[in-house]
Amino acid sequence: MLNRFANPIRFLRLADQIQPWAAILTLVLFAAGLYFALFNSPPDYQQGETVRIMYIHVPSAWMALFCYTLLAITSGVAMIWKHPLANLAGRATAPIGATFTFLALITGSIWGKPMWGTWWVWDARLTSMFILFFLYLGYIALQDAFDNAEGGSKAAAILALVGFINVPIIKFSVDWWNTLHQPASVIKFSGPAIHSTMLTPLLLTALAFKGYYVWLFLINMRGEIAEARCRALQVSQIQNAQVAKVATSDARDAHAD
Amino acid sequence: MTTFIEIVRRDLRLSMRHGMDTIMVVMFFVLVILLLPLGVGPEPTVLARISGGMIWVSALLASMLSVERLFQTDYEDGSLELLVIQPFMLELTVTAKVISHWLITGLPLLIIAPLLAGMLHTGKDGFAALLLTLAVGTPLLSLIGSIGAALILGARQGSILLSLLVLPLYIPILIFGVSAVDAAIHGLPWRLPVLILGSLLIGLAPFSVWATAAALRETMRR
């Protein structure tokens, strides 16, 4: 499976088939999710109408962690098996993950103003999400900091693996520390502690965001593969030009002799 | 083992002869602390309350600024290549380099910190906690910093990049260090954060040495 899609052309062929489906699925699920979230779900008995922000906030936060986990996995695959597409997959995922993290922070702060009375508090969950945002930015910056693109990808892969320590810290920060942020209520051993009328729109938008990720990922992947190909072409062009130059100068030398 | 000690001694000797490394770090540390009473006012109660955090933040910045040179000079004069290809485990070489970095920059901070704590009116209770957390925490800073220092070799705008990479990873250390000092100042038990720092040091040491060595190998391949 891993080896089969090491070939970019084969990967692109598969991507062509998946991409329209991902797009359709995203739009349908998002429309349904928004309908449920805005019109067909009750306001919370404590939070009132602001609870509807959650239907964007929670899926974005899940996607932020999900993207970083994927980033760590692709980095591991790139380092262990030297898989040619794994580095590109990391490059394609990082900006999407950074945007989801940003979205989670922004929506959380918009929700926090009416609920907690402040845009921002320095509690464990918020701070660790903020760190995650900077880990994404560090990954993106490190990738482009070298003249040699492949070297940049390898350095960034090591950083992604080191930064992965932060993901369990974010996940369990609400259980380990007493914080303002509420603890997990969907994934629990005792079953979800959230009513089905609220769970439906939440799961719909979460799935829509997953589909959205796949859609954007495939678009980014196409760009990354094209860029890698351009670079390879440029290098071979320069090499050919140099070979031709050496050949003509050799011929001239031979003529002079 | 002889190779290990030899690498530590080489770094120490280099920094002695170049001179300024240790002095610069300590000067930076003292100057940042000096800015504090000028910035927030010289009131002893205010200073005492924020002294733990301030000393920790400046120690962290001083360590980060100095860690950039951990591999940079060796990379520029080519001796890093010899360190990588010599028949000695690269992970151990990295450990030796980290230890020497701590001896050159971490230890002087530890020595000067009591003086600064006194100037900031930290108080007797916070004093012990501050020294103990710095003693456990500064090697951690050197370890994590070494990953960043190895990753940025040959990069454009290396030093700015280094702070972007390393500071987010420093944050947990800062949190535990400061929470121990704060608890001690308020007369609360501060054993737990120190224990967490110690376990972080033991747990992260092999991991970060491995990551640094991997980054150095990639640098050599570039």
Per-residue model confidence as pLDDT tens digits over B147-159 = 999 999 888 888 8
Q: Which residue of B has its CA nearest to A141?
A: B161
Mean pLDDT (chain B) is 88
| Gap from A144 CA to chain B (nearest CA, Å) | 9
Asked if residues A124 and A177 have their Cβ atoms less than 8 Å apart, the reply is yes
Q: What would the DSSP string read from start to end of A105-147?
A: HHHHHHHHHHHHSSS----HHHHHHHHHHHHHHHHHHHHTTSS
- Cβ of B155 within 8 Å of Cβ of A169? The answer is no
Give the mutation candidate from A162, A164, A176, A179 for the B interface (greatest B CB count, under 10 A). Answer: A162
Asked if residues A222 and A12 have their Cβ atoms less than 8 Å apart, the reply is yes
Q: Which residue has the higher pLDDT, B127 or A68?
A: A68
Q: Please state the φ and ψ torsions of residue A44, each to the nearest 5 degrees.
A: -70, 150
Q: Is the pLDDT of residue B174 over 70?
A: yes
| pLDDT for residue A70 | 93
Amino acid (one-letter) located at A24: I
The SS3 call for residue A44 is strand
Q: Which residue of B has its CA nearest to A130?
A: B168
Out of A142, A147, A148, closest to residue B161 by CB: A142
Contacts of B207 in chain A (CB under 8 A): 162
Out of A137, A145, A158, closest to residue B215 by CB: A158
| pLDDT for residue B49 | 83
Q: How many beta-carbon pairs under 8 angstroms link A with B?
A: 64
| pLDDT for residue B205 | 92
Give the mutation candidate from A148, A150, A158 for the B interface (greatest B CB count, under 10 A). Answer: A158
Positions in chain A whose pLDDT score sits under 50: none
Contacts of A169 in chain B (CB under 8 A): 172
Q: What is the pLDDT of residues B199-221, one digit of tens each?
A: 999 999 999 999 999 999 988 88
Domain range enclosing B212: 2-221
- Cβ of A145 within 8 Å of Cβ of B164? The answer is no
| Gap from A156 CA to chain B (nearest CA, Å) | 8
- Cβ of A151 within 8 Å of Cβ of B167? The answer is no
Q: Which residue of A has its CA nearest to B157?
A: A145
The count of other CB atoms within 10 Å of the CB of residue A32 is 17
- Cβ of B208 within 8 Å of Cβ of A162? The answer is yes
- Cβ of B169 within 8 Å of Cβ of A163? The answer is yes
| Gap from B11 CA to chain A (nearest CA, Å) | 25
Domain tally, chain B = 1
| Gap from B19 CA to chain A (nearest CA, Å) | 31
* Confidence grade of residue B25 (pLDDT, cut at 50, 70, 90): confident
| pLDDT for residue A177 | 63
Contacts of A162 in chain B (CB under 8 A): 147, 169, 207-208, 211
Out of B157, B165, B219, closest to residue A138 by CB: B165
* Non-local CB neighbours of B125 within 8 Å, separated by 6+ positions: B184, B185, B187
Amino acid (one-letter) located at A254: A
| pLDDT for residue A63 | 93
State ipTM. 0.82
Q: What is the pLDDT of residues A9-21, one digit of tens each?
A: 888 888 888 899 9
- Cβ of B165 within 8 Å of Cβ of A137? The answer is no
Q: Is the dihedral of CA A163, A168, A174, A176 positive or negative?
A: negative
Q: Long-range pairs for B192-201 at CB < 8 Å and ≥24 separation?
A: B193/B133, B194/B129, B194/B132, B194/B133, B194/B136, B197/B133, B197/B136, B197/B137, B197/B140, B197/B173, B198/B136, B200/B140, B200/B172, B200/B173, B200/B176, B201/B136, B201/B139, B201/B140, B201/B143
- The C-alpha atoms of residue B137 and residue B149 are separated, in whole angstroms, by 18
- The C-alpha atoms of residue B87 and residue B79 are separated, in whole angstroms, by 14
Q: Which residue of A has its CA nearest to B208?
A: A162
- The C-alpha atoms of residue A27 and residue A211 are separated, in whole angstroms, by 9
Contacts of B199 in chain A (CB under 8 A): none
Amino acid (one-letter) located at A200: T
